Amino acid sequence: MDKFVIKGGKVLKGTVEVSGAKNSVLALMPAVLLNNGKNIITNTPEVNDIYTMMKLLKQLGVEATFDNHTLTLDSTNIMSQTAPYEHVKKMRASVYVLGPLLAKYGKAKVSMPGGCAWGPRPIDLHLKAMEKLGAVIELDGGYIIAKSRRKNLVGARINFDISSVGATGNALMAAVLAKGESIITNAAAEPEITQLAEYLISMGAKIEGVGSNILEIQGVDELKPADIENIPDRIEAGTLLIAAAMTKGKIKLTKVNSKHLNLVIQKLEDSGAKLRYNNKIMEIDASRIKPKNVDVTTSIYPGFPTDMQAQWTAFMSVVPGSSTITDTIYLDRFKHIPELTRLGADIEILRNSAIVKGVEMLKGATVMSTDLRASASLVLAGLAAKGTTEVLRIYHIDRGYQRIEEKLQALGADIKRVNTKEF
């Protein structure tokens, strides 16, 4: 098992390229189950979640290769509609195969994703959407067993109580091959879903309202294979910008999409950092500022992403004064707080808020990653802390950040990956 050893206090400087977005490829990959043939997805990050989805798709019969950030997925010979526990337990996004399998093959057996590192993460909205489209769902032996009532799914109105990225993606992938019209209201409008809709359109799907909260779909009989260039990872970009802000650095990000980062940019500017950007390049200069406290409340896109909450909390922990960081998406996503406290942070949890009293300096210690974004916050804290910080269980960060230590090293950070027997 690997750990990071970070000697804090280095000012980050220089230029790095942002990788492709993990969460959007995780939605694009299962979409190939809707067609028969060879699909190519470029700008795919080399992160463990992508390998997990590849293994799952291979299990279903997809021929998959991944080379130089290019995924080639051939869906000609699908032999199975079962997503087993061994893959699904590693990654919730595996549930994305439910919609496409059901729409194309009339049946799917998908292991229930189970618990998560923080709080319950239900899939009721996914299942309700499938039922609306004409599926019969049974839960048996830890599996979702779904069958289409008729030969094909049938178009329907799907009104989501809560805006859900995963449930919108699943409903969309099911509706594109359903007979007739479907309308999804309160649909997620995250860039990852917008890109999925665009990918489906390039396969021949008929979808209107892309990028909005109402999606109108006219089902088609079949979809053809298609290629797509994946969008940049807005969460990786945001994490690197905060790394610069926390170390009083000055960095430039290339291959980024600043339009996906509006509120993160706003909050960084509110903290005093100077940002300059166009569509593909972003620069942040925090070298001459005395950072200010900035409260943050997470919300659905285009709000402040819950996937940046832990990193912002780490940032505010070294800005003297008080800040409140509230998560409205996941009410108990605070596993990083006790670990940040081990580094000297002064943070109290009050319901779904972290009340942060910024300290002058964090001090290096050994800390444990508990989930993907929590581990990113610990790395950021380690970069800003005095002395040496060891971040254990970094397999969490490897799920979603492509060799983050190499990017940080390129910016001048003193961070090393070390193989260890410690857990």
Closest CA to 155 of 88, 120, 207, 87: 207
Decide whether 123 or 397 has the Cβ nearer to ligand UD1.
123
- φ, ψ of residue 132 to 5 degrees: the values are -55, -35
32 binds ligand UD1 (CB under 6 A): no
Instruction: Mark the segment that binds ligand UD1 (CB under 6 A) among 51-59, 122-130, 236-244, 260-268.
Output: 122-130
Q: Is 123 in the site for ligand UD1 (CB under 6 A)?
A: yes
Residue nearest to ligand UD1 (CB): 166
262: number of Cβ within 10 Å? 14
Q: Binder to ligand UD1 among 115, 122, 142, 320 (CB under 6 A)?
A: 122
- 306 closest CA partner among 263, 248, 247, 349: 263
Site membership for ligand UD1, residue 121 (CB under 6 A): yes
- State yes or no: residue 23 binds ligand UD1 (CB under 6 A): yes
Q: Which of residues 72-101 bind ligand UD1 (CB under 6 A)?
A: 92-93
Q: DSSP string spanning 322-353?
A: EEEEE-SSSTT--THHHHHHHTT-EEEEETTE
Of 75, 94, 111, 164, the residue at the interface with ligand UD1 (CB under 6 A) is: 164
Contact with ligand UD1 (CB under 6 A) among 1, 139, 162, 349 = 162
What are phi and psi for residue 184, nearest 5 degrees? -110, 120
Query: Does residue 165 interact with ligand UD1 by CB under 6 A?
Result: yes
Q: Give yes or no for residue 330 binding ligand UD1 (CB under 6 A).
A: yes
Q: Confirm if 134 and 149 have CB atoms less than 8 A apart.
A: yes
What number of chain residues touch ligand UD1 (CB under 6 A)? 21
Q: Is the CB of residue 367 less than 8 Å from the CB of residue 378?
A: yes
50 three-class SS? helix
- Does the footprint of ligand UD1 cover residue 44 (CB under 6 A)? no
* CB of 165 or CB of 282, closer to ligand UD1: 165
For residues 271-294, b (16+ Cβ closer than 10 Å) or e, as one string?
bebebebeeeebbbbbeeeebebb
Q: Is residue 193 close enough to count as binding ligand UD1 by CB under 6 A?
A: no
> What binding mask, one character per residue, do residues 267-296 give for ligand UD1 by CB under 6 A, x or -?
------------------------------
- Residue 124 in the binding site for ligand UD1 (CB under 6 A): yes
Distances (CA, A) of 388 to 9, 96, 181, 268: 10, 40, 58, 26
**Contact 269/199 with Cβ under 8 angstroms?**
no
* Helix and strand element counts for the chain (H, E): 14, 24
Q: Which CB sits closer to ligand UD1, 26 or 31? A: 26
Handedness of CA 188, 189, 190, 196 (dihedral sign): positive
In Å, what is the CA distance from 316 to each residue of 268, 296, 340? 11, 10, 11
Shortest gap between Cβ of 145 and ligand UD1 (angstroms)? 17
As a whole number of angstroms, the distance between CA 248 and CA 411 comes to 12
Please report, as residue ranges, which positions from 363 to 422 form the binding site for ligand UD1 (by CB under 6 A): none
Q: Closer to ligand UD1 by CB, 8 or 305: give it.
A: 305
Nearer to ligand UD1, 122 or 321 (CB): 122
Distance in Å, CB of 58 to ligand UD1, minimum: 19
Comparison of 191 and 344: residue with beta carbon closer to ligand UD1: 191
| 132 within 8 A of 157, measured Cβ to Cβ | yes
Q: Of the two residues 114 and 122, which places its CB atom closer to ligand UD1 in the complex?
A: 122
DSSP 197-233: HHHHHHTT-EEESTTSS-EEEE--S-B---EEEPPB-
Contact call for residue 175 and ligand UD1 (CB under 6 A): no
Nearer to ligand UD1, 28 or 241 (CB): 28
In the set 116, 162, 361, 418, the catalytic residue is 116
- Give the torsion through C-alpha atoms of 395, 399, 403, 407, to 10 deg: -120
Confirm whether 143 is a catalytic residue: no
CB 160, CB 168: distance < 8 Å: yes
Distance of closest approach, residue 120 Cβ to ligand UD1, in angstroms: 7
Q: Is 326 in the site for ligand UD1 (CB under 6 A)?
A: no
Tell me the catalytic residues.
116
- Site for ligand UD1, rule CB under 6 A: 23, 26, 92-93, 121-126, 162, 164-167, 188, 192, 306-307, 329-330
